[in-house]
Each structure stands twice: as structure tokens, then as C-alpha cells.
Structure 1
Amino acid sequence: MKINVSRKSTYITLGAIVLAVAAYFSISQVREAVQVVIGILSVREPQEAIQAFRDYLLGFGYWAPAVSSLLMVFQSVIAPLPAFVVTFTNGLLFGWVWGTVLSWSSAMLGAALCFWIARALGRPVVERLVGGTRALEVSDVFFARYGNRAILISRLLPFVSFDIISYGAGLTPVSFWKFLVATGIGQLPATVIYSYLGQNLTGSVQVLFWVFSITAAIFVLGWTIGPVVVRRIRNGRNCACVPAGEETGAA
């Protein structure tokens, strides 16, 4: 199905990308900040990354929330970077309530940006941003299997890339507002939990992440498969309730 995109949307998206690239190459402070953040978010040990990111944000004083928001949007475009590190850190610095508000709203902005980049510029550009066709296979499978529900289901699974699904949705006919509502609802539980865990940071972050991921996976599995199982059970009961004589057509 062909997706119609206005020239205005394409030009605005291209303009935003050109400005961002120009700022990166022409302003040394921007370039250094991006390199520092990529280095922090690329640290393999989550707890170490969170502490490093916390120290980095504290250096901005009152501007820390704004910097955190910009960095959440930035990592949304650069799909391989882990957003949960930013969410944990926001909970640690600002408390779970304001950390949730900051992380949720910033992630929504990032998701919208990914959606419009894909919608306006198409699959070839997205493949370059996410690292090739294989990276988009997860999105393709989700949308082929679940249709529009793929957005909500994938948002409830923390181990499914938030950014890949945002890009993938932009390559489908789903409307922007349906995408935004499903994203907002689907990402809220994980954002609240990560922010709360960040505020009360104890033990291994990696263990907490996988415990929540497994719990969410079980929930989504039950939500998607459960109705099918119930329907089959009901059909089996209905068949069992039919008298033998009626089944064979006997009088």
C-alpha cells in the first residue's frame, strides 16, 4: 500500500537533519558532547553507565533535565544506544515521578522524530540509520504478525528496540496519531518501573532489567495467546455438549 507524504513534511524532516549534522560538524562543543554521551551509553556494565551518565548530567546544573531530554531524543535516532540507561538515571536524579514525566515525554518526542524520518525519507535512509536491512527484520515480523497492534505489543517488551519499531511504523500505512497513542500507552509501564528502580537503585541493574523483561514477556504472551486458547476451549466444550444423535444426524 502506497504511503502519501506531503512535500512539506519531507522538507521539514530534511531540514532538521541538515541542521543537526551541521551543528555536529561546525560546533566543537556539540561534537564533544555527542562523543562523550555515546561513550557513556556504550558502556557494557549498566550500573557503571548509569553512574557515569548521572555525573555527566550533574555538570549542567539546572539545565540537566533539558540536556537529558535532548539526549533521549538523540539516542532515539541512533537506534543501537540503550534508552533504559537514561530512564534509570532520570529516576535517580529527579525522583521516580518527575523522572517518569521527563523520560516519557522525551521518548515520545524521539519516537515521533523516528516515525517522521521513516515516513518522509523512506526505507533506504532508515536502513542506513539502523545499520542495514537485518535490523529492520524485527519490525517487519511484528507488523506482519500483529498489524497495528504491533506498536502496543512491542512497547510492552523492553528487549525489543524502541527505535526500530518507531522507524518501522513510519514505513507502514498506520496513522501518526494511532502510532503516538499506542506508543504513549505501551511505553508508560516500563518508564514508571525503570524510574522507580532508578530512584531506589540497589543491586544489579542488569538483573532488574531482565526480571522486568521476562515478566513483561509473560504478560504479553498471555495477552496475545490467551484469547486463542480460551476460544479453543469454548469450542471444545460446545462440541462436547452436542448430543451424539444430533452429531450423526440420527432421529
Structure 2
Amino acid sequence: MTYTINRMILGHDALRRVFGASVDAGLLGSQTALTATVFASRLMPFVSFDMISYAAGLSRLHAWRFALATLAGIIPASFLLAHFGGEAVSGDLGRATWAVLGLGLVTGLPLIWAATRGKAERKR
């Protein structure tokens, strides 16, 4: 009963009014597509985890698939941040410098790529 009340209060019925029966069929289609969407969103640090979790909760995605995609998606970023953090506090200035540069590169390259791609598309 709680599941039904939460769906009514938290948005499933509102989505059904907007999108019709396609909500019950799955907005993105198959379980595989939904799982891949959650996985890809977890790899992107600028996408809100809360927003994706809420959207997945309103979809027909199975909880175990959501958990698996979330776990697999956050492992790479967690490893990188833990590694760079360990290097930064190691006490060795050279290692700390490389850690900061590496983290800056991991963060900056996607931003530079997006900016240059956007300029190239606007020129067309």
C-alpha cells in the first residue's frame, strides 16, 4: 500500500497524465536501456544523483538493476578521488603536484572538449 501511495504522491500519476500509457511501458523502453542510462549518468560528475534516482524510481527499472548500475558507475570516480587524495596527502610535494595536475586533467579535459565542440557546432 505504501508503494501505491508514494507513486500517487511523488509523481507517477502526474507523469501518466502527461505522457499517457507510455509511462507504464517504460519511458526509455527496455530494462537494459534504463540500466545503461543510470550507469552512464553515474559516470558523469555534473549530473545530479538525486534527479536520476527520482527518475529511475518513477520508471519500471528493477531495484537490483538500479543498484548494480549505480555501484558500477560510481566505482571509477571513487577510485580516482581516493587515489588522488592519498597522493595529495602523502607528504611528498612531487606526488602531490602530480595528483593535483591529474585531477585537474580528469576534470578539465571533458570541459574543454565540450566547449570546443559547442563552438564547432555553432559555426555550422
- Provide TM-score, normalisation by structure 2: 0.51
Which amino acid in structure 1 is aligned with residue 105 of structure 2?
A: V
- 1:1-251 correspondence to structure 2 within 5 Å: 7-9=1-3, 121-123=9-11, 144=28, 147-148=33-34, 149-201=36-88, 202-203=96-97, 209=103, 211-213=105-107
> Is the contact made by 1:123 and 1:171 (CA closer than 8 Å) also made in structure 2?
yes
Rg larger in structure = 1
Displacement of 1:215: 6.0
Inter-CA distance 197–206: structure 2 relative to 1 (3 Å threshold):
closer
For residues 34-72 of structure 1, the C-alpha deviation after alignment (integer angstroms, 9 at most, x for no partner) is xxxxxxxxxxxxxxxxxxxxxxxxxxxxxxxxxxxxxxx
Q: Name the Cα RMSD after superposition.
A: 3.9
Hey, what's the Cα distance between the residues in 1 that align with 2:37 and 2:47?
A: 11
**Relative contact order higher in (CA < 8 Å, ≥ 6 apart):** 1
Which amino acid in structure 1 is aligned with residue 10 of structure 2?
A: G
**What 5-or-longer segments of structure 2 have no aligned partner?**
13-26, 89-95, 112-124
For residues 151-180 of structure 1, the C-alpha deviation after alignment (integer angstroms, 9 at most, x for no partner) is 011111122222221122112111111111
Q: Percent same amino acid at aligned positions?
A: 29
> Is the contact made by 1:159 and 1:213 (CA closer than 8 Å) also made in structure 2?
no
**What 5-or-longer segments of structure 1 have no aligned partner?**
1-6, 12-116, 125-142, 218-251
- Provide TM-score, normalisation by structure 1: 0.28
> Is the contact made by 2:40 and 2:73 (CA closer than 8 Å) also made in structure 1?
yes
